Structure 1
Amino acid sequence: MLLPTASRVAPALNRVPPGLNWVPEVTLDFWLIKLMAVTTGETAADYLTVNLGLGLTVTSLIMTGILVVALILQFAQKRYVPWAYWLAVVLISVVGTLVTDNLVENFGVRLETTTIAFSAALATTFAVWYSSERTLSIHTIFTTRREIFYWLAILFTFSLGTAAGDLVAETFDMGYLTTGLLFGGVIALIAFAYYVLKLDGILAFWLAYILTRPLAASFGDLLSQPFQYGGLGFGTTLTSLTFLGCIVALVVYMTLKWHAGDADKILLESE
């Protein structure tokens, strides 16, 4: 599936050189690891809550604390560092899932309500971000204020994606496979609009980013959940470890590529 990449996500005047941006370029690597991070977030949250018996409240407190530490590390970099960035993404995926699960299971909030509420929260974040910075481009994240807006938007996309995905799969009783295919089809339409109809790159990116969450989570549930609940029964442990291993391998690859890019810059500057 083709997704918006760095070729046309933002106009030339709305970009900074990649080395000065604090988040990664939007490439195939980006989308692959994002999908895996989402799947890991869904299954890892279930594993900690159910398999380890920690419960939603304890799991949420522990993972939120770890996420805060990861975000402190990420904000301290003042540049894109693969391991720090993707560690924060994986953890914010877990916490975003837990936020929605807590509202639904502990506080009895309906999935329809959480979907609407997180849609409003995300829209408000984008409105305030644009009002303050006059751009929503991920290619111009080079100040602390912009990075705060960025990560807040990321958190709400995960919570919204969890609510919307569960709403379609469970409340509408469409099942994990059908839900995954449905969201995959919508993302394909966005990609078509981006590449063929020249849909605005920033809009295409954020729409795809939101929808990849329920897409990947649906397939994560399909793999991990028992047969009686519509899954394939591989379990949260195996599913989480498999995708976590893929994430680690991709981060190592991206780190090596990142260091190679730095070496090339040094060589060019010395000539």
Structure 2
Amino acid sequence: MNQLRKTNMTNQEALSKVPEVTLIFWIVKILATTLGETGGDAVSMSMDLGYLVSTGIFAVIFAIAVTAQVSAKKFHVFLYWLTIIATTTVGTTLADCATRSLGIGYAGGTAILFTLLIASLLIWYRTLGTIAVSSISSRQSEIFYWVTIMFSQTLGTALGDWTADTAGLGYVGGAMVFSAMLVAIAAAYYWTTISRTALFWAAFILTRPLGAVVGDFLDKPLSKGGLELSRYSASIALLVVIVACILLIPQKAAKQAH
């Protein structure tokens, strides 16, 4: 009996509160980042609340979601993805507020957020010795995880806008660039010995600007190269697809590294 109890405890400790990194993980991540763009724009632009007020609203939602996620005792797939969506919506309006309302510009916003992201990863690494997702087993590591994600989601919006607008690639061009970069990372995963942790974070970061330009492509005016779809209908459709993916293809908690 004691041996069985120890085995069960070991199995529970071997699981984390983040999902396994599988193909469905990346599909839902891209859908969630796209939803973050259309949802953020729906509140700040379609509802005409502005970037600052919208950021405040989404910041409260993010704070509630991340507190629930960190406080949870085990992996809850819907709570995890709700928190991801919360980070990407607040990241959208926060980046727009910084780059547009404050006049920093896309290049300036991208540079500042990239610096914050790298600093977050370095502090995490120096504090705990690893930034691997498989090492997330404590509240401290989980807080580092979500802070890093928050910076990456905000960076992605600024980077996506910079690529599409300032660099002049447009939404389709930007989507092709970021898709090609993700394909290159996937190739490196299968055919090189580059650190899997480095490749994970590179892919995780790049899915955000991809989602940003795809989201803009869906709801921006035809005159600017978009499809001019309703931000509300696009957001609802993306949410339905995300929920369907989660229900139809169950995701398991990632196993912890020992």
How many Å apart are 1:148 and its aligned residue?
Answer: 0.6
CA contact (8 A) 1:111 1:164 kept: yes
> 2:20 maps to which residue?
25
Aligned counterparts of 1:240 and 1:93: Cα–Cα separation in 2: 13
Taking the aligned partners of 1:41 and 1:23, their CA distance within structure 2 comes to 19
Determine the C-alpha separation between the residues in 1 that align with 2:40 and 2:106.
18
Residues 99-130 of structure 1 show CA distances to partners (whole Å, capped at 9, x for unaligned) of: 11110122111211111111111111111111
Which residue among 209, 219, 224 is the counterpart of 2:219?
Answer: 224
| 2:84 aligned with 1:83 | no
Runs of 5+ in structure 1 lacking a partner? 1-15, 260-271
Per the alignment, residue 120 of structure 2 pairs with 125
Map Cα deviations across residues 23-51 of structure 1 (whole Å, 9 max, x no partner).
11101111111001000000001111111
Distance change >3 Å, CA 154–CA 174, structure 1 → 2: same
Mapped to 1, the partners of 2:97 and 2:191 lie a distance apart of 40
Q: Is the 8 A contact 2:20 2:251 kept in 1?
A: no
Q: Which residue of 2 aligns with 1:94?
A: 89
The residue correspondences of 1:137-176 to structure 2 (distance < 5 A) are 137-176=132-171
Tell whether the 8 Å contact from 2:218 to 2:234 is kept in structure 1 after alignment.
Answer: yes
CA distance, structure 1, for counterparts of residue 60 and residue 70 of structure 2: 16
For the Cα contact (< 8 Å) 1:78–1:142, is it kept in 2?
no
Report the 3-state secondary structure (helix = DSSP H, G, I; strand = E; otherwise coil) of the residue aligned with 1:23: strand
Q: TM-score, normalised by structure 1?
A: 0.85
- 1:117-170 CA-to-partner distances (Å, cap 9, x unmatched) read 111111111111111111111011110000010001101111111111111101
Give the structure 1 partner of residue 194 of structure 2.
199
Structure-2-length-normalised TM-score = 0.90
Contact between 1:67 and 1:92, CA under 8 Å: does it hold in 2? Answer: yes
What SS class does the counterpart of residue 206 from structure 2 fall into? helix
- Structure 2 residues without counterparts, runs of 5 or longer: 1-10, 254-258
How many residues are matched?
243
SS in 2 for 1:210: helix
Match of 1:199, SS? coil
| Matched residue type, 2:147 | L
Taking the aligned partners of 1:186 and 1:160, their CA distance within structure 2 comes to 16
* Deviation for aligned residue 1:249: 1.7
State the percentage of identical aligned residues.
34
